[in-house]
Structure 1
Amino acid sequence: MILSLSAIVLLGGAIFALWRYGRLATSHAVVCTLFGFFLASSAVAPYISATVRAGARLLSGIHP
C-alpha cells in the first residue's frame, strides 16, 4: 500500500510537471490517466505490480 501510494504521488507529480513545464496537452494527460485505469484492471496488472515492487526492493537494498 505504501509503495503504491508513493508511486501514485511520484507519477502524479511527474504528470503535473510535464503538463506545467513540458507542454503536455490536457488531452494527452487524460489519455494517459485512462490508460492507467484500464491497465490496472487488466490481467497484466499483477505482473506490473510485482515488477515495480521488485525494482523498489532492488533500489532500497531490501531482499525478499
Structure 2
Amino acid sequence: MLVTMSAVVLLGLLIWFLLRIRYLRWLELTICTTFGFLLAKTTAEPLVQSLLDGVGGFLGQLRF
C-alpha cells in the first residue's frame, strides 16, 4: 500500500505539472491512464500494479 500511495502522489504531481505547462502527449496520456488505474482499483489494477512492482524492483537493483 505504501508503494501505491507513493506512486499516486508522484504521478499526481507529474500530471499537475504537465497540465500546468500545457504539454500532454502520448507518454503523458499513459501516465494519466496509470494514475487512473491506481486510483480506481479496477479489475485491471493487479496487472498494472505487478508491472509497476516489476519496474520498481528493476530500478531498485540498478547500481551506479
TM-score, scaled to structure 2? 0.62
Instruction: State the partner residue of 1:53.
Output: 53
Residue identity over aligned pairs, in percent, reads 38
Deviation >2 Å, runs of 4+? 39-42
Instruction: State the partner residue of 1:27.
Output: none
Q: If you compute each CA radius of gyration, which structure gives the higher value, 1 or 2? A: 1
Structure 2 residue runs of 5 or longer lacking an equivalent are 25-31
Q: What root-mean-square deviation, in Å, do the aligned CA atoms of Structure 1 and Structure 2 show?
A: 2.9
Instruction: Report which stretch shifted further, 3-12 or 14-23.
Output: 14-23
Structure 1 residue runs of 5 or longer lacking an equivalent are 25-31
Paired residues, number: 53
Q: What's the CA shift for 1:23?
A: 5.5
Structure 2 distance, partners of 1:54, 1:23, is 28
**Highest RCO, 1 vs 2 (Cα 8 Å, sep ≥ 6):** 2
Instruction: State the partner residue of 2:29.
Output: none
